[in-house]
Amino acid sequence: MPTVDDRLKHVTLKILRAKEHAAELNRQIGEFFGNNPYKVATKVDSDTKKIIYYVSSVESVPDTIPLVAGDAIQNLMSALDHLAYQLVCSDTGDNPPNPNWIYFPISDDASKYNEKKAGKILGAAQATFDAIDGLKPYKGGNDLIWKLYRLNNIEKHRLLLTVGSHAAGIHLGQLLATHVGENFPPKAVEAMKSMNHYLMPADKGFPLKEGFELYIGAENEKPNPELKFRFSVALNEPGIAEGEPLLEIINQLVILVEDITKTLTPLLK
């Protein structure tokens, strides 16, 4: 008879593999930004005389980044399917009635979930159904679980081609220092410049293109070569993840699957 650790082995291996992909994703994104893929320049509006900071050069996000993100997503969804399989095996004494068609039940809404859940974990005990029901694995219940489900379906059929980049903020401290000028003591100005806070723009400009305006300054304002802008690699799947930082999504999904596993592990025997 398998132990609980035996039943969790493949689940934990899949989660571990997803974490490795997340670490690789972090490395590749860091390497991409380390090569300074976005150049910022300034110009003056001929009518308003205001200075405009804009993106003068853009490099495409490498194809390997969505590939690695997709691998992480697949492993996380696979971990949940392995968990569902082991739950049914545990409930049926390792004699599931439909072993080749066991999937972790996730649907686009509560109605579809209730309609299809029995077929996906056929043979599961009522306690297992109740525990999974409590997770609300459908859109409008737990949207993050649903997001994993939908992104995995997309990744099966194509690359996450909507991975791109967008503006992720202007350095608040340097912006303040630009405007206070000589009205503040030098130490106060330097303290502002050392702040690590960024002001998020309302329009992030996804996908980032040459000519996108990052910030419009004051009339006759001189360019500040120290003014920093932050950018992010983002995922934009309409209705699922629209302009969200890619690495942040993957890390959230890793934590989600770990938490689900911890929640359902007591049902294994």
Query: Taking a C-beta distance cutoff of 8 angstroms, is the pair 244, 162 a contact?
Result: no
Segment 148-172, tens digit of pLDDT: 999 999 887 766 556 678 888 888 7
DSSP state of 223: P
* 199-223 per-position pLDDT tens digit: 888 888 888 899 999 999 989 988 9
Assign 198 a pLDDT band (cuts: 50, 70, 90).
confident
- pTM value? 0.89
Confidence label for 31 from pLDDT (cuts 50, 70 and 90) = very high
Tell me whether residue 233 is exposed, middle or buried, using C-beta atoms within 10 angstroms of its C-beta: 0 to 12, 13 to 18, 19 or more. Answer: buried
Calculate helix-pair angle for 4-34, 246-264, nearest 10 degrees: 170
Picking from 78, 96, 87, the residue whose alpha carbon sits closest to that of residue 155 is 78
Quick check: 215 and 172 in contact, CB under 8 A? no
Please give the Cα distance from 163 to 172 (Å, whole number).
27
Q: Tell me, what amino acid is at 50?
A: K
Tell me: cis bond preceding 207? Omega within 30 of 0 counts. Answer: yes
Q: In percent, how much of the chain has pLDDT > 90?
A: 72
Q: Number of structural domains, the chain? A: 1
Query: Which range marks the domain in which residue 196 is found?
Result: 4-267
42-56, 135-149, 231-245, 247-261: lowest mean pLDDT where? 231-245
Task: Quickly count: other Cβ atoms within 10 Å of residue 79's Cβ.
Answer: 26
Q: Calculate mean pLDDT across residues 93-120.
A: 96
